[in-house]
């Protein structure tokens, strides 16, 4: 009888330990995926914000692609001339397999008194760039 009780107690301890270890491993993997998503988002933000704010002739500015900026595969950025050319583009990189980044560029305005970004009446002096990164195997989206 003592052996049965002892084996039962040891089984509960071992089962609980494996459950805790499994949970910790899953959380660690999730942190790793989030870190990669942050790196990718930062890389995309650096690429996009490295471009000019607006066209050389802002009066004729078209939000998004102009006629001479239509890369077939979405990665030929050599024809892009300002940040809004990236709007609604989904980007992937070989260095981040399975991750996708969607770029959204919108007119934005800033209320200095309130210290808030406010809804714009285009065109304004500001453009808001948002990068949403989707990670593999999860429904998490990092913005």
pLDDT in tens, 28-49: 667 778 888 889 999 999 988 8
pLDDT in tens, 115-142: 787 777 777 778 888 999 988 766 666 6
Strand partners, 100: 134
Q: Which of 1-5, 55-59, 128-132 has the largest mean confidence? A: 128-132
pLDDT at 68 over 60: yes
* pTM of the full structure: 0.68
How far, in Å, are 52, 74, 115, 142 from residue 135 at the CA level?
A: 29, 20, 32, 8
Among residues 44, 53, 51, 64, the alpha carbon closest in space to that of 142 is found at 44
pLDDT at 60 over 60: no
Residue 109 parent element (H or E): strand 100-111
pLDDT in tens, 86-118: 888 888 888 888 899 999 888 888 878 887 877
How far, in Å, are 30, 81, 123 from residue 58 at the CA level?
A: 44, 12, 9
């Amino acid at each position: 009888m003592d052996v049965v009780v002892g084996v039962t107690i040891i089984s509960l301890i071992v089962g609980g330990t494996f459950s805790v270890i499994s949970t910790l491993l899953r959380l660690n993997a999730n942190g790793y995926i989030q870190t990669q998503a942050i790196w990718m988002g930062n890389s995309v933000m650096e690429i996009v914000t490295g471009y000019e704010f607006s066209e050389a002739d802002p009066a004729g500015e078209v939000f998004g692609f102009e006629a001479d900026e239509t890369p077939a595969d979405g990665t030929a950025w050599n024809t892009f001339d300002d940040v809004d050319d990236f709007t609604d583009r989904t980007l992937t990189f070989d260095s981040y397999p399975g991750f996708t980044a969607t770029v959204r560029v919108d007119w934005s305005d800033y209320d200095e008194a309130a210290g808030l970004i406010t809804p714009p009446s285009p065109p304004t002096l500001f453009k808001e760039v948002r990068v949403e990164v989707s990670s593999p195997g999860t429904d998490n989206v990092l913005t």
